[in-house]
Amino acid sequence: MNNPRPRMTHLFEQLGLDASEEAIAEFISTHQLDRDTFINDANYWTDAQRQFIEEKMKSDGEWAIVVDQLNESLHEDSVNQSK
């Protein structure tokens, strides 16, 4: 049995967050990070969420790709400001 590739909605579900497209977009727009803050160091994660993110980043598997996509999205404002 093949497991589906993880997607952003799956990541939000695993983090215990609303995984609707609207909620994901809202979370990303309201939780932007400065360029010096790593995703796992954001002050809005619970310990369990932070641990999940760190584990998936270290796994270097398909979950790591999704976490990296979220990381890039959370840094969009800081990247655009530096241009």
Give per-residue pLDDT as tens, 61-73: 899 999 999 999 9
User: Does some domain include residue 3?
Assistant: no
Summarised one tens digit per residue, pLDDT across range 14-40 is 999 999 999 999 999 999 999 999 999
User: Does some domain include residue 28?
Assistant: yes
Nearest to 75 by CA among 28, 9, 41: 28
CATH number, domain of 17, equals 1.10.10.1130
What total number of domains does the chain contain? 1
- What is the predicted pLDDT for the residue at 81? 76
- What is the predicted pLDDT for the residue at 6? 87
Range of the domain at 34: 8-81
- Kindly calculate the radius of gyration of the chain based on its CA atoms and give it in whole angstroms: 13
- What is the predicted pLDDT for the residue at 80? 79
